[in-house]
Amino acid sequence: MTRALFIVDVQNDFTEGGALGVDGGDAVAVGVSRFLEAHRDDYALVIASRDWHDGDNDNGGHFADGQPDFVDSWPVHCVAGTEGAEYDPGLDTSAVTHHVKKGQGVPAYSLFEGVTDDGETVADLLTAHGVTEVDVTGIATDYCVRASALDAIAHGRHVRVLTDLVAGVAPDSSDAALAELAHSGAELQESTP
């Protein structure tokens, strides 16, 4: 069996101090880096995604014109080319094999909605490399991690969510997302040292 690691949206705007920073975001960046140091050889692919939104429009209603509802509309975040869109400095990206940008003018939550700079989709990458299993890490448990893991399941992959390497917006919605993922067939477990 061939495995991939997803690192979902570990970006400055989603870690502490960012436009939509979540508690524990910096710890996820450092934790994923440490995990990869020990486990890089376990993965055929390491795919990292970033929100990469346009700065000159509302990205299909994703950016609020006024008060965001924090469900479908959000404050401005992860604008392409800004510091907020860059990876958190605690994340060592040297082992990343593919960088995926998502958003780019439209709302996007799942890593599967993104493409590499060469236009490759995640689904195509997984198929081309014979990936059957996906481990998911990143931010935020209750939004983009959830959407990415559900899409991996929908694409026929066995999914493990590494629960100590994710951080969510809120405890209740994060717990609900993990329960939904488990119900959908994902395995929930902590990463191994």
Q: Are 47 and 97 within 8 A, CB to CB? A: yes
Helix (H, G, I), strand (E, B) or coil at 26: helix
Candidate list 9, 26, 135, 151, residue with the active-site label: 9
In angstroms, the CA 42 to CA 19 distance is 34
Candidate list 13, 26, 144, 151, residue with the active-site label: 144
Q: Is 101 a catalytic residue?
A: no
Burial 46-75 (b: 16+ CB within 10 A, else e): bbbbbbbbbeeeebeebbeeeeeeeeebbe
- Structure token digits, residue 186: 């994902």
Q: Is 102 a catalytic residue?
A: yes
Candidate list 26, 51, 101, 102, residue with the active-site label: 102
Cα-atom radius of gyration of the chain, to the nearest Å? 15
- Structure token digits, residue 169: 């917006």
Q: Which residues contact 180 (CB under 8 A, 6 or more apart)?
A: 146, 150
Q: Are 52 and 110 within 8 A, CB to CB? A: no
In angstroms, the CA 193 to CA 173 distance is 27
Would you name the residues annotated as active-site residues? 9, 102, 144
